[in-house]
Amino acid sequence: MSRSRHSYNGRIRHSSKERGASDSFRCVNCKRMVSSAAAGTGHRNHCPTCLWSKHVDVSSGDRNSSCHGKMEPISVWVKSNAEWALVHRCTACGTLKSNRIAGDDNEFALMSLAARAIAMPPFPLDA
């Protein structure tokens, strides 16, 4: 089997057939080690603790982006099937991406993102 030379958050990427549950990467924001294996997602792309990511995908799981900027979690949204997804904005190029949450994501961080729009409305509430 040939090995891919694409790097994701400081690790050498293997093809999806070579990748196992032991793959991990270092978070670009909080610097924690993160396991690539997660309940509810086949393409772990964010830290379950701080929810930050790295801009590595053009399409989900392809690792073809040349940007590699930090992806800030800016919101959550509820998909039509009632599943939650994170919205990330690249701090380098401004690209917006959506990715489903994982089973081990920090629930407090997710709820904080969900409440952000209510806490900071674009209009005065005292009118």
Cα-Cα-Cα-Cα dihedral sign, residues 92, 97, 100, 106? positive
pLDDT in tens, 45-61: 899 999 999 998 888 77
With bands split at pLDDT 50, 70 and 90, how would you rate the model's confidence at 84? very high
Query: Given a cut of 70, is residue 41 above it in pLDDT?
Result: no
* Highest mean pLDDT: which range of 30-34, 61-65, 118-122: 30-34
Instruction: Tell the residue number behind the tokens 């991990």, with chain if given.
Output: 24
32 CB contacts (<8 Å, ≥6 apart)?
26, 47, 49, 50
Check residue 42 and give its pLDDT. Answer: 67
Percent of the chain with pLDDT over 90: 50
pLDDT higher at 61 or 86: 86
Check residue 28 and give its pLDDT. Answer: 95
95 CB contacts (<8 Å, ≥6 apart)?
55, 67, 89
Check residue 63 and give its pLDDT. Answer: 84
